[in-house]
Amino acid sequence: MACNFRLSNFVLLIFTAALESVALYFLIRILFTHCVMGEEYGISVWLYLFFLPVITLQSVVLGLFRLFCVTVGMDPIAMVFNLVSGLVCIGTALTLLVASAAHCGNKFRYMFFVSSCLGLIAGILHIINAYVCNYFMPKDEWTYAKPSKRRRIKDSMYRNKFST
């Protein structure tokens, strides 16, 4: 069971990083189109440009670390990263998709759609990966994420006992 979880987590992570990289490539190509340089598009492109490179870099680095250390990316921090990255990718990609569907009618339209659709798919895969991490995470990991009040009191009494 743990092997399937690790494999599915790894495949989702690598596939998400690849989709984000291709979406980033098309986003960079969008920057040099006449509709963006002529300021027909403003906040939708720049919002997407502000968030996508950071999320892509984190996904690629996490994927590279995952090649050498199999337990990286399967903890509460990675789950929160995937959840937040998924929501941000979906929000910014939808913003660009709606803006381009409403206003773009030139030969560069496909770049807007490819970049935003790949970002949307990558966001959905981030959320699926967060769900997979949450579902298969051992119960002991959750005690590190948010220990109960009784456990914190017990730990503080233990520390006070041996600190004097």
Indicate the Cα dihedral angle 62, 66, 72, 78, nearest 10°.
40
What is the predicted pLDDT for the residue at 91?
93
What is the predicted pLDDT for the residue at 152?
61
What is the predicted pLDDT for the residue at 122?
95
Separation of alpha carbons 75 and 36, rounded Å: 40
Q: State which residues form the domain around 85.
A: 2-163
pLDDT in tens, 104-153: 667 778 888 899 999 999 999 999 998 888 877 766 666 555 555 566 66
What is the predicted pLDDT for the residue at 97?
86
Higher pLDDT, 140 or 28: 28
Whether residue 54 has pLDDT greater than 60: yes
Higher pLDDT, 24 or 66: 24
Q: How sure is the predictor about 23, in pLDDT bands with cuts at 50, 70 and 90? A: very high
Helices within 104-148 (DSSP H only)? 109-136, 139-145
CA–CA–CA angle 20, 22, 26 (5° rounding): 115
What is the predicted pLDDT for the residue at 101?
74
Whole-model pTM: value is 0.80
CB 85 within 8 A of CB 20: no
- Please state the domain count of the chain: 1
Higher pLDDT, 134 or 21: 21
pLDDT in tens, 66-99: 888 766 777 778 888 999 999 999 999 998 888 8
Reduced to 3 states (helix: H, G, I; strand: E, B; else coil), residue 63 is: helix
What is the predicted pLDDT for the residue at 112?
84
